[in-house]
Structure 1
């Protein structure tokens, strides 16, 4: 119990702590090591009675002191003079004045600064987003590999090369100017969206939803909307996150099992989040510059408008997926469109759309689960069973596996 409680606090603090440490040391690897050491110290020190008033500040100070020690060791080994780094005294850790030991305003938005650094144009687009997910969101290499539909070893090499390229370029970690921010905006928005996605539907672990990642993605999206109020895609990003997250309470049963959209109690959906997301989307669409995040937000809003599952406007959702596939084609978009097509034209028409995706989505559990469901609807139980078994093998969470096993057992 203590471990889960502690893990929640540390994970929630991670993006801001790591970003502040990276600004301070100008070294991504040292910042990650310092955060890890600070987390270990927290495990040994924190309890219900001794939890600091500001866990973020506590972890920054602990990581900062560790990093300073490492720098001094390197200097001694190299026989050079240590730089003027001064650690904050240990007795400050648990004092009520902890926030005063740091410049709060200075580290408050460090996460955005680090995001823009990770999305620097010296890196390829895939490297930018992968690095942002690893450094800022703290996703594991396996989780990021799943998001990109590649092998973990491939993703690990991609992230390592990106880190080395940034270190070799000796980039400044100061906040980029307006022109530089605009240049990197799409990559930053995509990275935040993938952070939200990992929180909304965790690819590994025990929980279906990782609230801390969802909350952090929404916080960052709000910050970007304030920085760039004229950018419709950022409003689309925030709208999408809010409308999707409005269903969080209804998506999980009391025993922790997922509840599918057709079985959710819509009275549990957060109407305030839906209302805010809808207004943001309508404001964005007035710019008449629809992008992929606005289209995805429009899909989520169409689901949210339906009072019941039966009243869902599937034709409108299929039209939106068609538009999304035109703007940002991907195997996952095609898969989602095929699932929607089944609601309009039946499972056989949808299965025909899945066949060309078998190669690119062979390691994607949701592909096999969707295929299994459609095969079951056509009465092909044997083929559905095989598809469910493949989905179970590829599932990233125990909860997802349990849900798929239940569906497999219910096959006639």
Structure 2
């Protein structure tokens, strides 16, 4: 009964906010149209982020990269980056500390490094595994479609509804291609899992199917009324239904199909190699230890990456992990410096929310339900509280004025923890 009481309490609050506060806004704020328990908090998040961006003061810092090579064959150049000076991190964003905070400090470090001896201190190789991502639920599907396909939340749900309700696929007639798309559950039926594992063995080989099926835990707050979002049959591959779907339907179906099949596959096996290099110039009065690092990741077994590839938004991270090839090195080996490159940077403010990142924050804070994310984002734009600027959500003057009034007079209702 606790969940029932909770749902009824939310319904009452929705009525209070909608019926009592909205008329107040109409009288006090020109152009204001409505308030909502979820929508107003969403606007507040966007307003707070915008003000954080305005108040942000960038800090200067410098990075140093060294191009090195072995003294013996193979004398292939490779690149390393400065990560520490003595025992201090070069960059500690959380503490706001930057050892090379201006060009003078960077030039002094470069001058000292040009006369330094370069020695390999440590070579480390570690096997790692990368687990597949869980199948989609509503929020993650909306985020992935926004990031990968540039679809708005409304578009995503409309196309998903079409795939769920049914598409004419020739001899089979009208077939629902995916399961119900408004869900916060990661549960998968045993029959679907068995069919998928059989398909994986046939299409990719037995080694790509895990020894025991993959199971994913839903959030404690999940209602669990439906399965995760998946194809109704993995044997309806994107290629087999291409001729029956329009461009956007096919793109979304492919995204769902690949994510689900990958979620049932074996982990990817990686070999991570890192090299720590010490540069020290004994000819200066007070020598410093400059620690450089080079790292690379080799995929020894692709596992689920065979189907799904890199997670949405992680392309840059994966590219950084893979890195360039590092020649064979041993501890205590001396190296030759070829070039030093110093580069100026400035810290950047937090980005404005996209639809995808706003949904992620709402979900993490426990605000709204899978069925409300798309309508909420649509409503705050239709009400002209928020507008899009280069694909990001930006508050309008009306939105800021409205939130200021609501926070002043109804702080509890606009409190994130209260709404959650």
- TM-score where L is the length of structure 2: 0.25
The structure whose Rg is larger is 2
- TM-score where L is the length of structure 1: 0.25
User: Which is richer in helix?
Assistant: 1
User: Which is richer in strand?
Assistant: 2
| Higher RCO (CA < 8 A, seq sep 6+) | 2
